[in-house]
A and B are shown apart, each in its own frame.
Chain A
């Protein structure tokens, strides 16, 4: 069984995003970049499924040349080979899904496991779009994945609780936070990853038009809340709450 895992290079989740003064976006110059955390969970899940019938894990990234680093991280974690689709301009989820659909045609995986969203643009779209384009089942926001005979059971985090759906294979899965805890790559595995194969392509190789459909007109910082007052004790707090009409 083959699994395809798309990964994205994003601003590290520990770094506070700073909006550029000219309002064109978030400043990504000279800041730490890492694999999107939900994608790390996707890579980890694919690796864990290696005991359960998965024989090959192909990771793919669509983005600038530096996304090689992100792919090497996935290879060091345990993926087998990588495909980098180089685009120095931003590709939207719709374009990404179209490229991935072409890669799926070539690679014929049994499952594609993706992060549910990238923590930069917070779109939460690519997996569902890919499922639509391929006419496959989709198990989004997964907290548990179990491969069965010709199908996969996906427990999903939904409003108010959990839902389990059975999907016919091949299928799309998108990961939620609690699916697993991704491993750190060991030094020997980081060294080994350097010799794993990485193919390079461009969107044009797949005949996909990735012209953006959305134009970002401006990016601003959200309105700031200012700190209020501190009260000395519970009585003062109760007094304030009563003043506000919260308590009687």
Chain B
């Protein structure tokens, strides 16, 4: 089976989500990559080095600068004439583009896979991860998105894929234009690839206290910073901090949950973390049912002391 993997990048570098998708695709067969964007020679060169990669298709065009689904989907459909599966990471680009491709190919997409059981059979979470379904596809071609935390990352060195420019790019379809973006600048590790995450909940009680308590601890540990939906909804932390079924799905080595009760929707986003540490004043909080190490007490006393003693 020949797969075409969407390369997630920011115009400069390949994002880690790509590496998990490559691992998933390699379990299906031959791995080809697709780099879409404007001025992406550097990204293509980096992508070609990923271990196990065959060809790297590069579509470089002003119409692809912001990866608008309306312009990108027809390009992928064209490339799918010579591939058997389109595999994208479950990033916002992947989730935006893949179903459009699937519809144009008349294929039912398999979203957010957790494992590849065979060429046509996969497992995927349903009901916010409260159940795991094994599904078998009868479509001749497959369109798949991959949950990054479920697959190991392919090595970034060792490959020598042949870079090939895509001849026909299709250009701008005139349906949509990019009007601007506000991407938060963050000096800390990205949530989806951080080894350690310190996450704060509603118990922090204000934006000031969130940053005054969570940030120094995260800096001390070299950790990424996350938040529960309750904390985000209350305005204590920005949207892109949100960990949970409707936010980011993370699985770091260590997840430190501070003042987070452990609602189902939050647990769905972090319960695959290797070690979970929970600090909460309510000893009956559901978070303690999944935590490896729990500390019951007042976070306003505990967190500064912990930061100090580490």
Chain A residues near B136 (CB-CB < 8 A): 214-215, 217
Chain A residues near B73 (CB-CB < 8 A): 132
Please tell me which stretch of A62-70, A194-202, A232-240 contacts chain B, meaning at least 4 of its Cβ atoms lie within 8 angstroms of it: A232-240
Who on chain A is nearest to B223 by CB?
A246
Do most interface residues of chain A lie in helix, strand or loop, or is the interface mixed? mixed
Chain B residues near A240 (CB-CB < 8 A): 293
Q: How far is the CA of A94 from the CA of B190 in the complex (A)?
A: 33
Who on chain B is nearest to A130 by CB?
B103
Chain A residues near B291 (CB-CB < 8 A): 227-228
Once the chains bind, are A125 and B99 in contact (CB under 8 Å)? yes
User: Quick check: is A21 within 8 A (CB to CB) of the other chain?
Assistant: no
Once the chains bind, are A119 and B294 in contact (CB under 8 Å)? no
User: Quick check: is A78 within 8 A (CB to CB) of the other chain?
Assistant: no
Q: How far is the CA of A185 from the CA of B234 in the complex (A)?
A: 24
Q: Which of B176, B245, B295 has most A Cβ within 10 Å? A: B176
User: Quick check: is B209 within 8 A (CB to CB) of the other chain?
Assistant: no
7 A-B pairs with least C-beta separation: A228-B292, A128-B99, A213-B108, A129-B103, A132-B103, A125-B99, A132-B100
Q: Say whether, besides A214-B138, A228-B292, A164 and B181 are in contact (CB < 8 Å).
A: yes
Chain A residues near B126 (CB-CB < 8 A): 26, 120-122, 219
Chain A residues near B190 (CB-CB < 8 A): 160
Chain B residues near A225 (CB-CB < 8 A): 271, 276, 289-290
Who on chain A is nearest to B110 by CB?
A214
In addition to A125-B99, A219-B126, 10 A-B residue pairs with Cβ atoms within 8 Å of each other are: A121-B126, A128-B103, A129-B100, A141-B96, A157-B92, A222-B131, A225-B289, A231-B294, A234-B305, A237-B293
Partner of B306, one of A136, A160, A238: A238
Q: A residues 111-137 with Cβ under 8 Å of B?
A: 119-133, 135-137
Q: How far is the CA of A161 from the CA of B296 in the complex (A)?
A: 34
Q: How far is the CA of A186 from the CA of B289 in the complex (A)?
A: 39
Q: Say whether, besides A125-B111, A159-B240, A217-B134, A138 and B181 are in contact (CB < 8 Å).
A: no
CB distance from A105 to the nearest CB of B (A): 15
Who on chain A is nearest to B248 by CB?
A159
Partner of B176, one of A17, A137, A233: A137
Q: A residues 81-97 with Cβ under 8 Å of B?
A: 92-94, 97
Q: How far is the CA of A213 from the CA of B186 in the complex (A)?
A: 42
Q: B residues 4-48 with Cβ under 8 Å of A?
A: none
Q: How far is the CA of A246 from the CA of B128 in the complex (A)?
A: 30
Once the chains bind, are A131 and B293 in contact (CB under 8 Å)? no
Chain B contact residue count (CB 8 A cutoff): 87
Who on chain B is nearest to A164 by CB?
B179
User: Quick check: is A19 within 8 A (CB to CB) of the other chain?
Assistant: yes
Once the chains bind, are A227 and B184 in contact (CB under 8 Å)? no
Residue-wise interface mask of B (97-138) relative to A, using a CB-CB cutoff of 8 A (1 in contact, 0 not):
111111110111111100000000100011111111111111
Once the chains bind, are A92 and B240 in contact (CB under 8 Å)? no
Chain A residues near B283 (CB-CB < 8 A): 230
Residue-wise interface mask of B (276-310) relative to A, using a CB-CB cutoff of 8 A (1 in contact, 0 not):
11000001000011111111110000100110011
Once the chains bind, are B180 and A163 in contact (CB under 8 Å)? yes
Report which B residues bind A (CB closer than 8 A). 66, 68-70, 73, 91-93, 95-104, 106-112, 121, 125-139, 173-184, 186, 190, 192, 196, 221, 229, 233, 239-240, 245-246, 253-254, 264, 271, 275-277, 283, 288-297, 302, 305-306, 309-310
Chain A residues near B97 (CB-CB < 8 A): 128
Q: How far is the CA of A200 from the CA of B3 in the complex (A)?
A: 42
CB distance from A216 to the nearest CB of B (A): 5
Once the chains bind, are B109 and A93 in contact (CB under 8 Å)? yes
User: Quick check: is A107 within 8 A (CB to CB) of the other chain?
Assistant: no
Q: Which of A16, A125, A126, A157 has most B Cβ within 10 Å? A: A125
Once the chains bind, are A231 and B295 in contact (CB under 8 Å)? yes
Q: How far is the CA of A176 from the CA of B173 in the complex (A)?
A: 25
Once the chains bind, are A168 and B175 in contact (CB under 8 Å)? yes
Q: Say whether, besides A157-B92, A238-B309, A162 and B181 are in contact (CB < 8 Å).
A: yes
Chain A contact-residue range equals 35 or more
Once the chains bind, are A157 and B294 in contact (CB under 8 Å)? no
CB distance from B181 to the nearest CB of A (A): 4
Chain B residues near A92 (CB-CB < 8 A): 108
Q: How far is the CA of A230 from the CA of B276 in the complex (A)?
A: 12
Q: Say whether, besides A159-B91, A166-B179, A219-B126, A123 and B111 are in contact (CB < 8 Å).
A: yes
Q: How far is the CA of A135 from the CA of B100 in the complex (A)?
A: 9
Q: How far is the CA of A158 from the CA of B192 in the complex (A)?
A: 13
User: Quick check: is A187 within 8 A (CB to CB) of the other chain?
Assistant: no
Once the chains bind, are A212 and B108 in contact (CB under 8 Å)? yes
Partner of B175, one of A137, A158, A163, A222: A137
Partner of A129, one of B99, B180, B277: B99
Once the chains bind, are B294 and A230 in contact (CB under 8 Å)? yes
Chain B residues near A216 (CB-CB < 8 A): 133-135
Chain B residues near A162 (CB-CB < 8 A): 181-182, 239
Q: How far is the CA of A126 from the CA of B277 in the complex (A)?
A: 38
Residue-wise interface mask of A (13-47) relative to B, using a CB-CB cutoff of 8 A (1 in contact, 0 not):
00011010000001000000000000000000000
